[in-house]
């Protein structure tokens, strides 16, 4: 850590020697945490600043942020946009963990340039935390935000943090702001009644549970796990250790029956991180819930609400953030209802959902996957769904079941090849993939995709 505190020095000096900053951060959970962390640190120094969360940094956006302050501080992005930043701003510093493109003589604190793996062992918020700690050891309590950011970037996906994130975790524990323990790692441990907890989780998709309220109730009943007690809904954190174990083994049995690979089932259990100072059952108690809340803000163009919550608001902005999360869930539910009523077409080798103008391109993949859970479609074929993105392209998302993957299906490869054949681009995992193609080529793309899939499944 000491070594890195020294490497953060140019950014530290930049902050100490200037005033009137414009913090510009990425709009996902990690970016919002990184921005909020810097904002808290600047507040403690009595510095003036504005803060602007944004989706991407291009010449159009630069014009907007130019006037937001005299000295720009980029958080959780910037390293990949150095040429455009250099061209437009005269005084800036970059704090990031993404790959770098180009060089700058301005302070640039990037994970990869200081020997850290920015994809796996430190997040943008983690980098911002090092800067904050180098500014003052009193900022160690801000390590909680670095944990939320890293969870938001799924850097705990192997079951626990690795590498430098563990040092940040040790700082957070020492400061008394985070506790870590082993538990079921699904969104909503603290913040959702059991039924919602299970039915709104979509990774992995569990047919008859995901997006299926009746099915989830039946599943819980058959495992003899109470849904209500004394007229109150039961939350996961209310369960005794015994009931928690029973729920986990029932989920594992259910997952196995649906061909979910063992490593995914194992990964359901791992380290969970709780913010010790937050209220039980709030959306900010568990790091995963917290990051989901922030993502909901960013995704619905309300990043500034997320910033306030990350900075500590538990009042008006917290309420707004909760409302955005509810809105997000409503949009998922409406999307599923739309698919049910408008119908999904069976195109032979796959199911097809035309999201039209009803389903946002950013939600279409999640909704497509949930259709298996809700048993709107059978498990015998993959589903592809599309809607028009902001640029007028057809944005396709493909989802499948583990049963199909076992038979040889690889959606990522199929999407990549089919997209390439019509001048688009695509790729992804075996079970989840996406592609963007010219809108007028969508039918051709679907034909090509179906052909590739039928070959994969007959091999
Ligand atoms: O790779 P990426 O994280 O962008 O994947 C996007 C989506 O694909 C995830 O939100 C998840 O729902 C889905 N996915 C999945 N199973 C995997 C990997 C991804 O369902 N093994
Ligand atoms: O967009 P969607 O959530 O459906 O994407 C699922 C997965 O496919 C993600 O992991 C994403 O990174 C990948 N993908 C890709 N190339 C694209 C679109 C999506 O590799 N053009
Ligand atoms: Zn990040």
pLDDT in tens, the chain (459 residues): 899 999 999 999 999 999 999 999 999 999 999 999 999 999 999 999 999 999 888 888 888 899 999 999 999 999 999 999 999 999 999 999 999 988 999 999 999 999 999 999 999 999 999 999 999 999 999 999 999 999 999 999 889 999 999 999 999 999 999 999 999 999 999 999 999 999 998 888 898 999 999 999 999 999 999 999 999 999 999 999 999 999 999 999 999 999 999 988 988 899 999 999 999 999 999 999 999 999 999 989 999 999 999 999 999 999 999 999 999 999 999 999 999 998 899 999 999 999 988 898 888 999 999 999 888 999 999 999 999 988 899 999 999 999 999 999 999 999 999 999 999 999 999 999 999 999 999 999 999 999 999 999 997
85 and 67 Cβ atoms separated by less than 8 Å: no
Q: Closest ligand to 31 CA? A: 3
This prediction has a pTM of: 0.90
Distance 128 CA to ligand 3 centre (A): 11
Number of H helices, E strands in the chain: 19, 15
Which of 186, 201, 203, 211 to mutate to test ligand 1, by most ligand atoms within 8 A of the CB atom? 203
33 and 51 Cβ atoms separated by less than 8 Å: no
Q: Which H helix or E strand runs over 264?
A: helix 262-267
Whose Cα sits closest to atom 8 in ligand 1? 432
- 435 Cβ inside 6 Å of ligand 2: yes
SS3 228: strand
Nearest C-alpha neighbor of 288 from the set 268, 303, 308: 268
> Any idea which fold 343-458 has?
Diaminopimelate Epimerase; Chain A, domain 1 (3.10.310)
> Any idea which fold 2-149 has?
inorganic pyrophosphatase (n-terminal core) (3.90.1640)
Distance 405 CA to ligand 2 centre (A): 17
- Residue 362 CA: which ligand 2 atom is closest? 1
- Residue 154 CA: which ligand 1 atom is closest? 3
414 vs 339: CA distance, rounded Å: 23
- pLDDT at position 201, please? 87
Q: Closest ligand to 25 CA? A: 3
- 155 Cβ inside 6 Å of ligand 2: no
**Domain parsing of the chain, residue ranges:** 2-149, 194-332, 343-458
Whose Cα sits closest to atom 13 in ligand 2? 428
- pLDDT at position 58, please? 80
422 vs 427: CA distance, rounded Å: 14
Residue list, ligand 1 pocket, CB within 6 Å? 202-203, 365, 369, 429, 431-432
Tokens of 215: 């099915």
Q: How many CB atoms lie within 10 A of CB 215?
A: 19
Which of 402, 432, 436 to mutate to test ligand 1, by most ligand atoms within 8 A of the CB atom? 432
242 vs 263: CA distance, rounded Å: 23
- pLDDT at position 407, please? 95
- Residue 366 CA: which ligand 2 atom is closest? 3
């Amino acid at each position: 850590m000491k070594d890195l505190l020294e490497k953060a020095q140019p950014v530290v000096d930049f902050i100490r020697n200037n005033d009137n900053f414009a913090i510009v951060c990425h709009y996902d959970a990690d970016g919002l945490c990184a921005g909020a962390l810097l904002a808290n640190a600047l507040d403690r120094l009595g510095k003036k600043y504005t803060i602007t969360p944004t989706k991407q940094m291009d010449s159009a956006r630069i014009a907007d942020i130019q006037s937001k302050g005299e000295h720009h501080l980029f958080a959780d992005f910037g390293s990949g946009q150095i040429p455009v930043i250099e061209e437009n701003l005269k005084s800036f510093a970059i704090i990031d963990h993404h790959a770098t493109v180009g060089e700058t003589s301005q302070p640039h604190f990037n994970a990869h340039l200081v020997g850290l793996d920015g994809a796996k062992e430190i997040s943008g918020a983690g980098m911002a935390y090092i800067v904050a700690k180098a500014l003052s050891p009193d900022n160690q309590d801000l390590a909680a935000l670095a944990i939320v950011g890293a969870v938001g970037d799924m850097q705990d996906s192997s079951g626990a943090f690795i590498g430098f994130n563990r040092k940040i975790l040790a700082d957070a524990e020492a400061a008394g702001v985070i506790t870590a323990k082993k538990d079921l790692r699904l969104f909503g441990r603290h913040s959702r009644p059991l039924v919602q907890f299970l039915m709104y989780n979509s990774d992995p998709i569990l047919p008859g549970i995901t997006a299926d309220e009746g099915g989830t109730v039946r599943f819980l009943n058959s495992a003899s796990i109470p849904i209500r007690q004394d007229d109150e809904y039961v939350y996961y954190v209310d369960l005794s250790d015994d009931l928690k174990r029973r729920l986990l083994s029932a989920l594992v049995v259910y997952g196995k029956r649906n061909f979910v690979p063992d490593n995914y089932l194992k990964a359901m259990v791992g380290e969970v991180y709780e913010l010790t100072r937050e209220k039980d059952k709030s959306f900010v108690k568990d790091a995963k819930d917290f990051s989901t809340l922030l993502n909901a803000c960013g995704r619905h163009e309300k990043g500034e609400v997320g910033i306030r919550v990350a900075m500590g608001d538990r009042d008006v902005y917290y309420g707004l953030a909760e409302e955005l999360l509810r809105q997000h869930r409503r949009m998922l539910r409406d999307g599923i209802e739309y698919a049910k009523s408008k119908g999904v077409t069976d195109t032979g080798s796959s199911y097809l959902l035309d999201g039209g103008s009803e389903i946002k391109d950013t939600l279409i993949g999640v909704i497509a996957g949930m259709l298996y859970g809700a048993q709107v479609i059978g498990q015998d074929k993959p589903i592809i769904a599309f809607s028009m993105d902001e640029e007028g392209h057809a944005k396709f998302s493909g989802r499948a079941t583990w049963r199909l993957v076992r038979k040889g299906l690889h959606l990522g490869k199929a999407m990549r090849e089919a997209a390439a054949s019509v001048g688009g681009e695509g790729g992804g995992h075996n079970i989840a993939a996406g592609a963007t193609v010219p809108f007028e080529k969508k039918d051709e793309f679907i034909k090509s995709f179906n052909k590739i899939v039928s070959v994969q499944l007959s091999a």
